[in-house]
Amino acid sequence: MSRVTPLSGFPEWSPAERVVEASLISTLREVFALHGFAEIETRAVEPVARLAGDSDAAKEIYALTRLAAQEGADARLGLHFDLTVPFARYVEEFQSKLAFPFRRYQIQKVWRGERPQEGRYREFYQADIDVVGRDVLPAHIEAEVAVVMARALAALPIPKATMHINNRRLVEGFYRSVGIEDVAGALRSVDKFDKIGADGVRKELGEKGVSETAQDAVLELAKIHSRDTSFVNAIEDLWETTFTTGDEAAEKVFAEGIAELAALVSAVNAAVPGTAVADLRIARGLDYYTGAVYETVLEGHEDLGSICSGGRYDSLVAGGGFPGVGMSIGVSRLVSRVLGAGLASATRAVPSAVLVAVTSEDDRRASDEIADALRARGIPAEVAPSAAKFGKQIQHAERRGIPFVWFPETGEVKDIRSGVQVPADVRNWEPPAEDRWPRTVRA
Amino acid sequence: MSRVTPLSGFPEWSPAERVVEASLISTLREVFALHGFAEIETRAVEPVARLAGDSDAAKEIYALTRLAAQEGADARLGLHFDLTVPFARYVEEFQSKLAFPFRRYQIQKVWRGERPQEGRYREFYQADIDVVGRDVLPAHIEAEVAVVMARALAALPIPKATMHINNRRLVEGFYRSVGIEDVAGALRSVDKFDKIGADGVRKELGEKGVSETAQDAVLELAKIHSRDTSFVNAIEDLWETTFTTGDEAAEKVFAEGIAELAALVSAVNAAVPGTAVADLRIARGLDYYTGAVYETVLEGHEDLGSICSGGRYDSLVAGGGFPGVGMSIGVSRLVSRVLGAGLASATRAVPSAVLVAVTSEDDRRASDEIADALRARGIPAEVAPSAAKFGKQIQHAERRGIPFVWFPETGEVKDIRSGVQVPADVRNWEPPAEDRWPRTVRA
C-alpha cells in the first residue's frame, strides 16, 4: 500500500470544516428551494464526445477507463467539468416530463484536470441555478436569477458580494457598429483584460483585424460602469465621439441591449439594494451567452476572481428552443476561503450535544436509555465508550468538543465549559438552542 | 453532438423522484447525527494502487486519464468503488486531528465498472457509518452500530428490515475445530450459498481439500439461525455430533465467538425489538472482518439481496492499531426499489407551495413582494412567469404541481385542488403543514 499523501487539487476537510461546508450547502439549498427551484442531480459522467464540445474546459476532461474492460469495449465516458453540459443533456432527455419554464438547482462535484498549482481545484462543488423556457423566456427572469443568487450569497458567512452585469447584445451591437466583424473573438480578448491589461487586449484585437479607432472604442466602453442606470449617459457620451459604420441593425441591437441592462440593474437593485453594478467590461469567455452576463466579486477577496457567474443563452440544447438564464457558484473555492481566512467556523466538530457517562459496564443500558430519550426529543447524544473514571469521561467529551456530560446515577448534567452541574430530567431537559447542533458562526 | 440516450448503470431521477432520494438521504443524516456520528466527505479519487488492494471490486475500478495530459505525467488515479478504502486512507492521513473512538458517517457516490445488466449500478450512493478506535474498541460498539442502522432503516419508507448477524470468530473456531485449514477460502465458498446451493458449496469445499465430514459440519452450521439466543443450543447439539480435532485454541475462539454473537443479538433486539437474527450462514466475502458480520434483508424484497452490510475488523489501516465496526447501506438500489415498487412517492415535484399570479406585467413587482413576504416566513413561493389569463396561470400551477395560487389584486389564495378560494394576508397566511414543503409519503 502506498504512503498516504494529500493529492494536490483534491481538497478534503476535517469533520469541523465539513460542518462549515455542509451548512453553506444547506443554506444554498434552502434559499433556492424557497424561490421555487427544484433540485436535480445528474450522473457524474457524460460521453466524452458531448463533453468535448467547443469549451475551453474540454481539454481538461478526465476520461474514464475500466481497468477490467477490453480496449474499446465501452463508449468513451468522462467526468463532467461543469453542471451546464449535463443539465443541457438532462433537459433534452427528460423534456417530455418537465414543466417549462423549468427552474432547477443542482449542487454537485465537478472535475477538471487543470494544473492545480494556481490554487485551482481538480475536484470541487458547484451550485447552479437555471431557469429554462420552452421557446420563450421573459426578460424578468434575468433579474430573478440574479436576485436569488444575491440572496443566497448574502445568507452565507462571507463579506458583501457585488454582481457585475453586462449585456451581450449591448456589446455585440456596439462592436458591430464600430466595424468589428469577429465579435466573439473580440469578446474573448476583452475577457482577458485582468490578465493581460489594456495593451495586451489592444494587441490581440489588432491581430484580429480590429482597427485602432475601434480598439479605442472597445476599451473606452469597457471602462464604463455604474451602480445605477447612469452608465447609459456615459455610453451616450462615448457614442457621440465614436466613429460608427451606420449599421442600423447593429445599432438597434445596441439600443435594446442598453435598455435591457438598465432594466436589469434597476430590478436587481430594487430587490436587493446595492447588489448590482452595470459593468461594461464583463465579457465572459463562453460563446453561448446572448443576453445578460454576470460575474460576482467578494469585497476584500477580489483575488478570488468571480465567485458566481453566468448569463442568458438562446438555447440550452443544440437544436434550439430552450432559452434560459443560469448562474453558478464555485462552492469549494468559497468554502476554502471561508476556512482559510477564518471568516467562519463550526461551533464543534461532532453532532453530539450530550455525552452520557457510564457508571459501570453493567449499567451501560441505563446510559443508552438516557441517550435514546434525548434523541427522541431531537437532542443529539452519544454514550461514553468506556466506564472509565468520570474525570476521563469528561476529558473524552472535551476532546470531542461535546458541551454537556450527563451522569445517570445522580441524574445531573454538567456544562463542561462552565463547570456548572445541575439536576436534570431526560423528559424535559433542553440544551441552549445554540448548543443543540453544531453551527457555523461568523468570526 | 451525440444523440441523447440513457447510460445503462447510471441512474438519474426526475425532480419528483429526486425529492424521494433527497428525503431518504436527509433521514439517514439525521439519524446518524442524532447518534453522534460526524459527517465527512472524501475526494472521489484515490491512487489506483491503493484502490486495487485485494478486494474483488478492484477489477471494476474506473481509472482516470486527463485527455490533455502526456502519457504517464500523473500518478494513476481511480474513482473509489466504496467508502471504506477512502475512509481508511482518511483516518491514516488525519489521525493526529481525530478524537478516537472516531464516529463518522459518509454518504457519497461510488463507481463500479460492473456489467450493468444484472440490475447493478455503475454509479450509486452509499451511506456508511463506522466507529474506529485507537488500539481498542469495546464489543458494545458492535451492537451500537447495528442499532443505529436498524433505526435508520426503520425511519425510511420501506418494509421491515431484518438484520442477519454472524460472528467470524465463531465460524473460524468451528472451521478450525473440524480440521479446515483454509478458513478464508471456506468462508468465500459458503458466502456463495445463495448462488450455487449446498451442492455447489460442497463441491468447492472439496476442491479446497475440506473432508466430507467437515463439509457436513460446515453446511449444518450454516443452517442454524434464531431470533434469540436459542441458536446456542443448536450449536451445542451440532457440536455433540461433530468430529472435531481437539484443537483447544480453536475451541476457545469458537466459544468466545458464540458468547459474542449471543450478547450482540440480545443487545440489538433489546434496543430495537425483532430486528436481529443470529444466522450462521452469513459469511461476507471480505477477508478483513474479524468479529460480527451483518447482512440486512428487506421483507418482501429478498431479491434485492443485502441492503445494509458490514462487520467488525481488526484494523482499518494496514499497519494495525485501528479496530472498528462499520455498516453500509446501498442507497441508490434502495431508492430505485422504493420508486420502482411504488413504496413511496413525493407529494409534488417542485418546492413551491404557492404560485403568486401576475395581474399584468406592470404589476409584477407587487407579485414579487408577496412572494418575498411568504419566503421570509419560510413558505416556498414562485411568481407566475407571465401575466397570462388567470386560467392559464392556474394551469401553470397545476402542471408544476403547486397547490396554491395567490391573487394579488383581490388578496385571495386558491387551493387549486379543492377550488376553495379565501381572502388571505401575506403576514400570517399559512399553508397546511403537510403542504409547506414537498414530502415523501409511503404508498
pLDDT tens-digit readout, B416-437: 999 999 999 999 999 999 999 9
Q: What's the start-to-end Cα distance of chain A, in Å?
A: 41
Q: Is the pLDDT of residue B261 over 90?
A: yes
Confidence of residue B1 (pLDDT cuts 50, 70, 90): very low
Residue numbers in B near A58 (CB within 8 A): 67
Strand duo A161-167 + B289-298: pairing: unpaired
Confidence of residue B2 (pLDDT cuts 50, 70, 90): very low
Structural domain count of chain B: 1
Q: Is the pLDDT of residue A56 over 70?
A: no
Residues A120 and A217 in one domain: yes
**Would you state the pLDDT for residue B338?**
97
Residues A336 and A372 in one domain: no
Q: Is the pLDDT of residue B53 over 90?
A: no
And the C-alpha cell for A302? 477580489
Q: What are phi and psi of B221, to 5 degrees?
A: -60, -40
Residues A183 and A321 in one domain: yes
Report DSSP letters for B82-134, one per residue.
SSHHHHHHHHHHHGGGPPSSEEEEEEEEEE----GGGT--SEEEEEEEEEE-S
Taking each continuous run of H as one helix and of E as one strand, the counts in chain A are 14, 19
Report DSSP letters for A64-125, one per residue.
EEETTSPTT-S--EEE-SSSHHHHHHHHHHHGGGPPSSEEEEEEEEEE----GGGT--SEEE
**Would you state the pLDDT for residue B89?**
94
Distance separating alpha carbons of residues B55 and B52, to the nearest angstrom: 7
**Would you state the pLDDT for residue B376?**
97
**How many CB atoms sit inside 10 A of residue B406's CB?**
24
Confidence of residue A388 (pLDDT cuts 50, 70, 90): very high
Q: What's the start-to-end Cα distance of chain B, in Å?
A: 41
Q: Is the pLDDT of residue A390 over 60?
A: yes
Residues A255 and A366 in one domain: no
Q: Report which secondary-structure segment, H or E, holds B149.
A: helix B140-154
Residues A223 and A311 in one domain: yes
- Cβ separation B1–A380 shorter than 8 A: no
pLDDT tens-digit readout, A272-322: 999 999 999 998 866 789 999 999 999 999 999 999 999 999 988 888 899
Quote ipTM for the complex. 0.95
Residue of chain A minimizing CA distance to B7: A46
**Would you state the pLDDT for residue A74?**
59
Q: Is the pLDDT of residue A415 over 90?
A: yes
pLDDT tens-digit readout, A351-377: 999 999 999 999 999 999 999 999 999
The minimal CB distance from B61 to the residues A67, A89, A98 is found for A67
Closest CA to A261 of A240, A279, A243: A279
- Torsion, CA A226, CA A232, CA A236, CA A242, rounded to 10: 60
Q: State how far the alpha carbon of A273 is from the alpha carbons of A161, A228, A270, A295, B290, in Å.
A: 12, 10, 6, 17, 62
Closest CA to A144 of B385, B172, B177: B385
The minimal CB distance from A40 to the residues B15, B101, B123 is found for B15
| Shortest alpha-carbon distance between residue B211 and chain A (Å) | 35
The overall average pLDDT reported for chain B is 93
Q: Is the pLDDT of residue B40 over 70?
A: yes
Q: Is residue B27 part of a domain?
A: no
**Looking at this protein, which amino acid is placed at residue B416?**
I
The residue with cell 451548512 is: A23
| Rama region for B247: left / alpha / beta (φ>0; ψ in -120 to 50; rest) | beta
For the residues B161-182, what does the mean pLDDT come to?
A: 96
Q: State how far the alpha carbon of A443 is from the alpha carbons of A303, A304, A344, in Å.
A: 20, 20, 5
**Would you state the pLDDT for residue A3?**
58
For the residues A112-120, what does the mean pLDDT come to?
A: 73
Q: Is residue A284 part of a domain?
A: yes
Q: Is the pLDDT of residue A1 over 50?
A: no
Q: Is the pLDDT of residue B67 over 80?
A: no
- Cβ separation A349–B38 shorter than 8 A: yes
Distance separating alpha carbons of residues B256 and B24, to the nearest angstrom: 38
Q: Is residue A3 part of a domain?
A: no
CATH of the domain at B408: 3.40.50.800
The minimal CB distance from A123 to the residues B44, B111, B381 is found for B44
- Cβ separation A381–B33 shorter than 8 A: no
**Would you state the pLDDT for residue A2?**
43
Residue of chain A minimizing CA distance to B401: A99
Residues A29 and A76 in one domain: yes
Residues A420 and A331 in one domain: no
And the C-alpha cell for A350? 461532532
**Would you state the pLDDT for residue A72?**
56
The residue with cell 424561490 is: A35
Residues A341 and A387 in one domain: no
Residues A74 and A139 in one domain: yes
**How many CB atoms sit inside 10 A of residue A3's CB?**
8
The residue with cell 455447489 is: B200
| Shortest alpha-carbon distance between residue B224 and chain A (Å) | 28
The minimal CB distance from A60 to the residues B63, B68, B396 is found for B68
Which range of residues forms the domain containing residue A403? 354-442
Q: What are phi and psi of B102, to 5 degrees?
A: -90, 125
Q: Is residue B43 part of a domain?
A: no
Q: Is the pLDDT of residue B71 over 80?
A: no
Distance separating alpha carbons of residues A303 and A297, to the nearest angstrom: 9
| Shortest alpha-carbon distance between residue A395 and chain B (Å) | 11
Percentage of residues of chain A with pLDDT beyond 90: 86
Q: pTM of the entire structure? A: 0.95
Q: Is residue A5 part of a domain?
A: no
Work out the angle at residue B42's Cα, subtended by the Cα atoms of residues B36 and B48, and round it to the nearest 5 degrees: 140
Distance separating alpha carbons of residues B130 and B105, to the nearest angstrom: 7
Q: Is residue B393 part of a domain?
A: yes
Distance separating alpha carbons of residues B78 and A63, to the nearest angstrom: 11
Length of chain A: 443
Give the DSSP letter of residue B303. Answer: G
Q: Is the pLDDT of residue B283 over 90?
A: no
- Cβ separation A33–B4 shorter than 8 A: no
Q: Is the pLDDT of residue A401 over 60?
A: yes
- Which of A295, A311, A345 is the C-terminal boundary of a domain? A345
**Would you state the pLDDT for residue A75?**
63
Q: Is the pLDDT of residue B348 over 80?
A: yes
Confidence of residue B115 (pLDDT cuts 50, 70, 90): confident
Residues A169 and A63 in one domain: yes
Q: Is residue A281 part of a domain?
A: yes
- Which of A345, A376, A401 is the C-terminal boundary of a domain? A345
Residue numbers in B near A49 (CB within 8 A): 1-2
- Which of A345, A370, A399 is the C-terminal boundary of a domain? A345
Q: State how far the alpha carbon of A168 is from the alpha carbons of A133, A138, A312, B255, in Å.
A: 19, 16, 9, 78
Confidence of residue A49 (pLDDT cuts 50, 70, 90): confident
- Cβ separation A12–B43 shorter than 8 A: yes
The overall average pLDDT reported for chain A is 93
Q: Is residue A285 part of a domain?
A: yes
Residues A242 and A267 in one domain: yes
Q: How many CB pairs under 8 A join A and B?
A: 233
Residues A83 and A226 in one domain: yes
Percentage of residues of chain B with pLDDT beyond 70: 95
Q: State how far the alpha carbon of A274 is from the alpha carbons of A147, A226, A339, B221, B372, in Å.
A: 11, 11, 26, 74, 18
CATH of the domain at A170: 3.30.930.10
pLDDT tens-digit readout, B326-346: 999 999 999 999 999 999 999
For the residues A53-59, what does the mean pLDDT come to?
A: 66
The alpha carbon dihedral of A350, A354, A357, A358 has a sign of negative
Residue numbers in A near B112 (CB within 8 A): none
